[in-house]
Amino acid sequence: MAAFSLCWLSAAACWLPAAALACPVCYDPRDPSQAAFVAGTALLTLVPVAAIAGVVAYVWRRSRAVERGDDPGRGPLP
C-alpha cells in the first residue's frame, strides 16, 4: 500500500510543473499585461519605502531644528 501511495505521489509531483505553466502572470515579454504587472510591483515596493523615508527625514529635520534653537515650537504642553 505504501509503495502504491508513493507511486501516485511521484506521478503528481511530475505533473505539477505542467500546471504551473498555465499561470496568468507568466513572463511573456510581448504581453501588455506584463508591463502593468511589473509597474504595479514596483509601485507597491516603492510606496512603503518612500513613506518610511519621509518619516525619517521629518524626524531628522525636526531634531536638527530643536538642537539649533530654530524650533518654532508648539508651545508648552498643558
| Chain center to CA of 25 | 16
| Per-residue model confidence (pLDDT) at position 2 | 67
For residues 38 and 32, is the Cβ–Cβ distance under 8 A? no
Measure the CA angle with vertex 26, ends 24 and 29; round to 5°.
120
CA distance 8 to 48: 45
| Per-residue model confidence (pLDDT) at position 78 | 46
pTM for this predicted structure: 0.51
| Per-residue model confidence (pLDDT) at position 35 | 78
CA distance 62 to 55: 11
Which of residues 35 and 52 earns the better pLDDT score? Answer: 52
